[in-house]
Amino acid sequence: MSESELRILESLARYKYLTTSQLDLLNILKNKMGLYQRLRELRAGKKPLIANNSFGIMPGKGKLEDFYYLTSKGQDFLIENLEYNEQKIKAPKGTSSLFARDYFHRKETINFYIYFDKWINKNDGDILFLDYYFDKIGDNRSKKNLRAKNKIDIEQTGGYIIPDIVTKFTYKNEPYLFFIEQHNGKDTKKLLKQLYFHLLALEEGKGAEKYQMQKNHRVAVIFEFESILKATLERIQNINEFKGFEKFFIFKTNESLNKSFFNDWIDLKRINTNLI
């Protein structure tokens, strides 16, 4: 097996799903035609190491990229040949990987992880764990207890939140815990309700309690549209409950995240700040 094929398998084990443009972003191969060839080879045979989900054509968007992921055979290959810990491999369970309605949201969530990795690898840091909203724990077949790994119960309402990403990392030897939300679309009402639940989780110290931290987590929200980011911040100014929690919420657009991961975030007071 070639080095580039090994890197594809390792990348899928880390990010769970990847498109060809995301594999290109990871610099697997300089030649895109070569990348397509490696993907074909990994999908070949009766027991392929990877598989793909196809989504066809979407009006106004054209043909959507396929998402690639590890098969059970691909997982076994990494465990047996590269001594991977099975618990550290991200791979879909069953047919729940079919997510046409969630396509762009999931893609941008994975993009965050890629940009985060690129930034942390250039700095004095380490990602201790990163879990997606579509990562599951439990067993739905025998115990019927499959649930979202990121589920956080809110005592004050009896409800819960499932952050798009929960990640714990170190930067310059200091530990940090972040809850990440990727907001696609233009529904500010739904987002404000979601952020209020995040506020309650902060009040209750849910992040510190569940993930064994001495300090509260921070909430970072990434927007598809800058206009919706501005509208959200404008409406939050009139919600008294957020006062005193300004340092715990930061905001950015997808476009800005691509340009600079660490800098140019905006806090609740609409002042530029950094990730940390």
- Of the residues 97, 128, 148, which one is the last residue of a structural domain? 97
Going 193 to 199 to 201 to 203, the CA torsion angle's sign is negative
CA angle 173/178/184 to nearest 5° reads 145
Does 36 share its domain with 162? Answer: no
Does 53 share its domain with 133? Answer: no
Q: Which two tokens stand for residue 156?
A: 């004050």
DSSP string, 216-252: --EEEEEES-HHHHHHHHHHHTT-GGGTT-GGGEEEE
Does 28 share its domain with 124? Answer: no
Cβ 159 vs Cβ 197: under 8 Å: yes
- Digits of tens for pLDDT over the chain (276 positions)? 899 999 999 999 999 999 999 999 999 988 888 999 999 999 999 999 999 999 988 888 899 999 999 999 999 999 999 999 999 999 987 655 557 789 999 999 999 999 999 999 999 899 999 999 999 987 755 566 788 999 999 999 999 999 999 999 999 999 999 999 999 999 999 999 999 999 999 999 999 999 999 999 999 999 999 999 999 999 999 999 999 999 999 999 999 999 999 999 999 999 999 999
- Of the residues 63, 78, 97, which one is the last residue of a structural domain? 97
Distance CA 102, CA 108 (A): 10
Whole-model pTM?
0.94
- Of the residues 79, 97, 115, which one is the last residue of a structural domain? 97
Residue 43: give its domain's CATH number: 1.10.10.10
Burial of 100 (0-12, 13-18, 19+ CB in 10 A): exposed
Total number of domains constituting the chain: 2
Does 68 share its domain with 134? Answer: no
Does 28 share its domain with 165? Answer: no
Domain span at residue 213 reads: 106-273
Does 230 share its domain with 181? Answer: yes
Does 90 share its domain with 142? Answer: no
Does 119 share its domain with 39? Answer: no
Q: pLDDT value at position 144?
A: 64
Radius of gyration (C-alpha) of the chain in whole angstroms: 19
Does 133 share its domain with 208? Answer: yes
Q: pLDDT value at position 94?
A: 64
Does 19 share its domain with 89? Answer: yes
Does 49 share its domain with 154? Answer: no
Does 29 share its domain with 132? Answer: no
